[in-house]
Amino acid sequence: EDQVTQSPEALRLQEGESSSLNCSYTVSGLRGLFWYRQDPGKGPEFLFTLYSAGEEKEKERLKATLTKKESFLHITAPKPEDSATYLCAVHPGYNKLIFGAGTRLAVHP
Amino acid sequence: DGGITQSPKYLFRKEGQNVTLSCEQNLNHDAMYWYRQDPGQGLRLIYYSQIVNDFQKGDIAEGYSVSREKKESFPLTVTSAQKNPTAFYLCASSIRLAGGKRTDTQYFGPGTRLTVL
């Protein structure tokens, strides 16, 4: 069964304390892996798309990496405004995305 | 500005009522989707459409219906047959449903929160 698991469920960081969020997946035929940011009561905001193992993408304090079994979202020197839920989704070989449950990140000053 | 709009932002439904959630996009995307989000769970696909006048059921289509009469619009009706409709509903769109070996990014609207009274 195709599955996406995100860990940890929740993460509390001090401002400036770097860390990583994990997205592990078991799917048949990966067409793409997506990271989104979601603020409370709002729709997910697109961050990155990764297509193949070894690929990396960066945006400000965020860096996403991909292997054959998992993806990491690295957050370097986070700020309170980085607090949000981060969602991972994979597109297997058929017509839908499979979403993880998300990681709730809280960054405290 | 291009984007996806959903209305209303909040919606309250009485028992036995049908309600319709609006989704409009001006991105010229062919594919549109409806998801449901519940606390502690990943987004679940309700319906999707890859072209006008065509749509397919997702994983949790029971109690819901859709139409796609225009490329820009993909309204979702929550019928009285949906026993637990209280949730956050998200509409999304992408250029195409599937782009060969690579997939196209799905972009989301701001969401509609539906509450059953």
pLDDT tier for residue A30 given thresholds of 50, 70 and 90:
confident
Cα-based distances in Å from A25 to A6, A48, B79: 9, 16, 34
Is B40 an interface residue toward A (CB < 8 Å)? yes
Tens digit of each residue's pLDDT (9 = 90 or more) over A10-21: 999 999 999 999
pLDDT of residue A2: 86
Is B47 an interface residue toward A (CB < 8 Å)? no
Is B53 an interface residue toward A (CB < 8 Å)? no
Question: Cβ distance B107 to B97 under 8 Å?
Answer: no
pLDDT of residue A27: 86
Residues lower than pLDDT 70 in chain B: 1-2, 97-102
Summary mean pLDDT of chain B: 92
Question: Cβ distance A87 to A5 under 8 Å?
Answer: no
Question: Cβ distance A52 to A71 under 8 Å?
Answer: no
Is B11 an interface residue toward A (CB < 8 Å)? no
Tens digit of each residue's pLDDT (9 = 90 or more) over B23-46: 999 999 999 999 999 988 889 999
Q: How many C-beta neighbours within 10 Å does residue B77 have?
A: 14
Q: How many C-beta neighbours within 10 Å does residue A109 have?
A: 7
Tens digit of each residue's pLDDT (9 = 90 or more) over A55-102: 999 999 999 999 999 999 999 999 999 999 999 999 886 668 899 999
pLDDT of residue A92: 84
- Look up residue A21 and give its amino acid: L
pLDDT of residue B101: 62
Chain A to chain B, count of Cβ pairs less than 8 Å apart?
61
Q: Which of residues 64-83 of B touch A (CB under 8 A)?
A: none
pLDDT tier for residue A7 given thresholds of 50, 70 and 90:
very high
Mark out chain A residues that contact chain B at CB-CB < 8 A: 4, 31-32, 34, 36, 41-46, 49, 51, 87, 89, 91, 95-102
Beta carbons of A87 and B110 less than 8 Å apart: no
